[in-house]
A and B are shown apart, each in its own frame.
Chain A
Amino acid sequence: KQEVTQIPAALSVPEGENLVLNCSFTDSAIYNLQWFRQDPGKGLTSLLLIQSSQREQTSGRLNASLDKSSGRSTLYIAASQPGDSATYLCAVSPNYGGSQGNLIFGKGTKLSVKP
């Protein structure tokens, strides 16, 4: 059974610091991997989606990498800002027929960026 783990569970950094969030998964047979952001009491906002054939994706100050063979992904946030404070969730999509949308989530990393 696929399991997704995110480390650390919480992280506090000063503004301007570059940081890395980690995600690992136990079954390398994935269709894609997605990173989401969740603000308190809100739904999820998609940040980046990496297809299984890709190594990385970039959007602005965010860069996500994928190493499928080792079951790892990282989300790199450059020059962090207080507005980046949120919980970041990693999710993998299983690679078997008809179930690619059934995401399996980690528990998230709660990020706090101090001014």
Chain B
Amino acid sequence: DGGITQSPKYLFRKEGQNVTLSCEQNLNHDAMYWYRQDPGQGLRLIYYSQIVNDFQKGDIAEGYSVSREKKESFPLTVTSAQKNPTAFYLCASQIPGGNQPQHFGDGTRLSIL
């Protein structure tokens, strides 16, 4: 079954700690995206990657980092520089070009201990 897998479902971060959220897809999509969703808010773009070994900052990239070493994987690291990391994080993938819908994982909820 093709899809996007995000793990873990819930994650807790201590002060000063970096944490990494996993996103894996088997849809053979070149483009992948990370969004942040806060309560009552729409999704905001953190980082995106249109091809392996290349990625770009989105609207709210400060305090986050990503890598794209494999087509299937696009992990997001929430660094200690991100002062308000509590949110729901969603990963998506898409066939490049923009005229196909984005496919989403089921999200990771990050909280502060």
Contacts and interface: CB of A to CB of B under 8 A. Distances in A.
A49 B99 contact: yes
A108 B106 CA distance: 17
Contacts, number: 65
Contacts of A43: 4, 6, 90, 104-107
Nearest to A31: B98
Contacts of A42: 106-107
Nearest to A46: B101
A102 B42 contact: no
Given A89-B42, A107-B41, A101 B98 contact: yes
Q: For this complex, into which size category does the number of interface residues on chain B fall?
A: 20 to 34
A43 B25 CA distance: 14
B99 A51 contact: yes
A87 B42 CA distance: 11
A108 B103 CA distance: 18
Interface residues of A, number: 26
Interface in B48-99: 48, 50, 58, 90, 92, 94, 96-99
A108 B43 CA distance: 10
A25 interface: no
Contacts of B94: 101
Nearest to B94: A101
A51 B101 CA distance: 11
A103 B43 contact: yes
B45 A103 contact: yes
A3 B93 CA distance: 23
Interface of A: 4, 31-32, 34, 36, 41-46, 49, 51, 89, 91, 93, 98, 100-108
